[in-house]
Structure 1
Amino acid sequence: MKILVIGGAGTIGKKIVEHFSKEHQVLVAGRSSKDYPIDIADSRSIKNLFKKIKKSGKIDAVICAAGEAKWARMKDMSETDFHIGLRSKLMGQVNVVRHAHKCLKRKGSITLTTGILADDPVYTTTSAAMVNGGVHSFVQAAALEMRKKIRVNVVSSGVVMDAYDKYESYFPGHPPIPMDKMLMGYIRSVSGRVNGEIIRIYS
């Protein structure tokens, strides 16, 4: 397969690229990529990337492991602060789906990324929890409209092992998710037949 990984230089993205590169051709996109630059908070950037991809031929799968949201107490957040997550994590991934399906082969797949905050929010995560939940609802609705038997899913993981030291204090009592276990969600979405699924990996 030919797979595009957006956010392929990040903590989760690197593991995704490492795994799928063993048997497939992987294109790595991100803000620091020279070959496939993209900022998912910028809709024009998304559109330009998929124009470039389409010119070189259709692909089999798109995985998005990018997106950010501001973490702070709600009383300390401005409307502009909330817009960070809305533009990036939510609309960024919505726009990935809007443009990616045009570049996919029949029966291709799109896999988005959220996290446990959609179902189990913690202190200072009003924005992140909101946008994660929005992505979940979007995926379930978008799956009903995909043509050419294209599938769209989202992987929602707990705090992964490689980021646990950074986030442990925010998630008391939450077990770290082994990277190999987290990868199973992406494998299931890309190589399986599920569609419109929120693939939860929380323990």
Structure 2
Amino acid sequence: MKILIIGANGTIGKKLTPQLAKQHEIITAGRNSGEVRVDISSEESIKEMFQQVKNIDACICIAASGPLDNFSTLTEKQLLEDFKGKLFGQMNLVLIGQEYLNNNGCFTLTSGVFADIPYKGVTGGAIISGGLHSFVLSASIELPRGLRINVVSPSMVEDSVADFGYLFPGLKAVSMKELVDAYEKTINENITGQILRVY
């Protein structure tokens, strides 16, 4: 398969990309790195990316993250800004990308554990992840031409504990292998509309 990975140079991407490259042709994309440049907060940038890459069988997005927030001062403006990348950006990859992926291609998005497990300081991230889950469920029955869509919802990975573990005491970290396996499953198995929780 020819797979477009957006965010290939991030924490997850650095492990996922070489694993998938063992069996598939990989095209990497990112805002500051990769073979193709893309800012997923921009519809125009997404369109330009899909126009550059041809005959894509799969699109995996592991770019963008929901920043921490302070509930007591949280505003609509801040939420909308936070949603622009990880929520609307990933949805636009599908809404725009459905015109470009090959028949029977697949999309894999990335949400997160806070859709299901509440922690302080992640209200925006929780809404983003929950919204992505609902979007994937709906999109899976709407996409044409046999296109599939799934979302991987990871907890904090072991590789990130040193940097972020103190923010989420008691949150179980998962191995990178478990997480990579979940992304591979969305590529290798004929599944759609699935939320693959790696908690």
TM range (shorter): over 0.9
User: C-alpha displacement at 1:33, in angstroms?
Assistant: 2.8
**Mapped pair 1:71 → 2:44:** no
1:29-67: CA deviations, max 9, x gaps?
A: 0011363101111111111111111xxx31111000012
**Mapped pair 1:114 → 2:134:** no
- Point out the more displaced range, 171-180 or 138-147: 171-180
The residue that corresponds to 1:11 in the other structure is 11
Matched-pair contact (CA < 8 Å) for 1:67–1:85: no
What is the alpha-carbon distance in structure 2 between the residues aligned to residue 196 and residue 123 of structure 1?
29
Q: Of 132, 140, 157, which aligns to 2:154?
A: 157
- Point out the more displaced range, 76-85 or 95-104: 76-85
Matched-pair contact (CA < 8 Å) for 1:69–1:128: yes
SS of 1:107's partner is coil
What is the alpha-carbon distance in structure 1 between the residues aligned to residue 40 and residue 5 of structure 2?
12
- The CA RMSD over aligned residues, in Å, is 1.2
Identity of aligned residues (%): 36
The residue that corresponds to 2:96 in the other structure is 99
What is the alpha-carbon distance in structure 2 between the residues aligned to residue 170 and residue 34 of structure 1?
30
The residue that corresponds to 1:192 in the other structure is 189
What is the alpha-carbon distance in structure 1 between the residues aligned to residue 154 and residue 42 of structure 2?
25
What TM-score do you get using the length of structure 1 for normalisation? 0.94
1:61-85: CA deviations, max 9, x gaps?
A: 1000012222121112233321222
- Point out the more displaced range, 101-110 or 128-137: 101-110
Aligned-partner residue type, residue 165 of structure 1: A
Matched-pair contact (CA < 8 Å) for 1:122–1:170: no
The residue that corresponds to 2:174 in the other structure is 177
Q: Of 127, 132, 143, which aligns to 1:130?
A: 127
Q: Which consecutive unaligned segments of at least 5 residues does structure 2 have?
A: none
The residue that corresponds to 1:35 in the other structure is 35
What is the alpha-carbon distance in structure 2 between the residues aligned to residue 34 and residue 170 of structure 1?
30
Aligned-partner residue type, residue 4 of structure 1: L
Runs of 4+ in 1 over 4 A off after TM superposition: none
1:146-193: CA deviations, max 9, x gaps?
A: 111110000001101111112212222222110011111101111101
What TM-score do you get using the length of structure 2 for normalisation? 0.96
What is the alpha-carbon distance in structure 2 between the residues aligned to residue 152 and residue 99 of structure 1?
14
- Point out the more displaced range, 178-187 or 78-87: 78-87
Matched-pair contact (CA < 8 Å) for 2:9–2:34: no
Q: Of 130, 134, 142, which aligns to 2:139?
A: 142
**Mapped pair 1:84 → 2:81:** yes
Matched-pair contact (CA < 8 Å) for 1:140–1:197: yes
Q: How many residues align?
A: 199
What is the alpha-carbon distance in structure 2 between the residues aligned to residue 122 and residue 152 of structure 1?
28
Matched-pair contact (CA < 8 Å) for 1:3–1:59: yes
1:100-153: CA deviations, max 9, x gaps?
A: 222222211100001101100211001000111001000000001111111000
Q: Which consecutive unaligned segments of at least 5 residues does structure 1 have?
A: none
What is the alpha-carbon distance in structure 2 between the residues aligned to residue 51 and residue 4 of structure 1?
13
